[in-house]
């Protein structure tokens, strides 16, 4: 018994030693910047004026009264909710198609990954040309002169379309991985009992896909809530800040206005929202895992 306990202790110490370098690197590239942003957020730090002084929670108090912050938060929440919902609705039937055996399935699986493989900035720039009000392909096909990126009613939804085009293949891959983990014997038993395809989908596929769907929602929600590059390339947050997200507002405050204190406070607020969302999804995943 003592020998077994000693062996486990040695294995535990060895595991700590092996993971220590990764923990140190993670702390350096992730934890230190977060703590640094939190510390800066407690200061009034405007580099251009050479001003740096301790203000405690004044930046956060101002944030709660900042209409632009609440507008950016609303844009971010709307973008995340609509984009992730549409991606999931498109990804599930796409994954079901990719899971079906047919000639050319391998080619189709590779083809659907093309939007995901294209760098986001390049893809967004391509879409910016397609949305161009004067000579964009979309207006030529529609026979209309719509300023897709210049009108508030269209701009944010155009950005959502680009995000859906870009990341639906990623969600479909995660769902496809979940589908391939479902035993084929369950479907055979359902067919023997006379269940239709729809009944098998509702009673077998969807319940067993819940962990994969929740995992896909976790990744995509956190990614969409931090959206920056696609919207910045398309509109830079315009027109009139109607497509401005929290990340873009923080960037403009930090890099264009030079207000590092308030910009850091905005970054911390974004980080807190992301952590809160991740905790909700992790709780849901843990509940599914215990069933």
Contact indicator for 210, 284 with CB cutoff of 8 Å: no
- Kindly report the average pLDDT of the chain as a whole number: 87
CA separation (Å) from 278 to 45, 282, 284, 285? 30, 6, 10, 10
Band of residue 2 on the pLDDT scale cut at 50, 70, 90: low
Full-model pTM: 0.87
pLDDT at 29 over 60: yes
Q: Each residue of 114-134: pLDDT tens digit?
A: 888 899 999 999 999 999 888
Band of residue 31 on the pLDDT scale cut at 50, 70, 90: confident
Domain boundary assignment for the chain: 78-243
Q: Each residue of 123-182: pLDDT tens digit?
A: 999 999 999 888 888 888 888 888 899 888 899 999 999 999 999 999 999 999 888 888
pLDDT at 191 over 90: no
- Identify which has the larger pLDDT, 278 or 108: 278
What does the pLDDT read at residue 291? 63
- For range 185-201, the mean pLDDT: 81
What does the pLDDT read at residue 141? 87
Q: How far is C-alpha 4 from the chain's CA centre?
A: 45
Q: Sign (positive/negative) of CA torsion 255, 257, 261, 265?
A: negative
Q: For the chain, give the percent of residues with pLDDT over 90.
A: 38
- For range 235-262, the mean pLDDT: 90
Band of residue 60 on the pLDDT scale cut at 50, 70, 90: very high
- For range 69-74, the mean pLDDT: 94
What does the pLDDT read at residue 18? 85
Contact indicator for 51, 44 with CB cutoff of 8 Å: yes
Q: Which of 23-27, 69-73, 239-243 is least confident?
A: 23-27
Give the Cα-Cα-Cα angle 250, 256, 257 (nearest 5 degrees): 80
Band of residue 101 on the pLDDT scale cut at 50, 70, 90: confident
Pick the CATH number of 78-243 from 1.10.357.10, 3.60.110.10, 1.10.3720.10, 3.40.109.10: 1.10.3720.10
Q: How far apart are the first and last CA of the chain?
A: 34
């Amino acid at each position: 018994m003592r020998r077994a306990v000693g062996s486990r202790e040695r294995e535990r110490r060895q595991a700590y030693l092996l993971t220590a370098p990764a923990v140190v690197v993670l702390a350096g590239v992730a934890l230190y910047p977060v703590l640094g942003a939190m510390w800066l957020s407690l200061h009034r730090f405007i580099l251009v004026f050479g001003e740096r002084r301790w203000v405690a929670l004044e930046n956060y108090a101002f944030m709660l009264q900042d209409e632009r912050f609440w507008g950016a938060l609303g844009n971010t929440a709307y973008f995340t909710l609509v984009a992730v919902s549409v991606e999931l609705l498109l990804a599930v039937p796409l994954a079901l198609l990719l899971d079906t055996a047919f000639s050319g399935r391998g080619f189709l699986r590779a083809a659907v990954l093309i939007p995901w493989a294209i760098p986001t900035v390049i893809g967004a720039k391509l879409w910016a040309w397609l949305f161009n009000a004067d000579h964009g392909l979309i207006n030529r096909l529609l026979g209309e002169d719509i300023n897709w990126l210049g009108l508030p009613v269209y701009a944010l939804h155009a950005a959502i379309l680009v995000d859906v085009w870009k990341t639906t293949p990623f969600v479909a891959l995660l769902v496809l991985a979940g589908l391939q983990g479902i035993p084929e014997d369950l479907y055979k038993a359902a067919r023997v009992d006379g269940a239709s395809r729809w009944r098998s989908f509702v009673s077998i596929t969807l319940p067993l896909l819940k962990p994969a769907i929740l995992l896909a929602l976790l990744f995509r929600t956190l990614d969409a809530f931090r959206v920056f590059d696609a919207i910045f390339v398309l509109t830079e947050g315009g027109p009139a800040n109607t497509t401005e997200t929290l990340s873009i507002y923080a960037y403009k405050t930090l890099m264009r206005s030079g207000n590092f204190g308030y910009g850091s406070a905005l970054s911390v607020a974004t980080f807190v929202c992301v952590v809160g969302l991740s905790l909700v999804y992790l709780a849901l995943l843990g509940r599914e895992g215990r069933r």
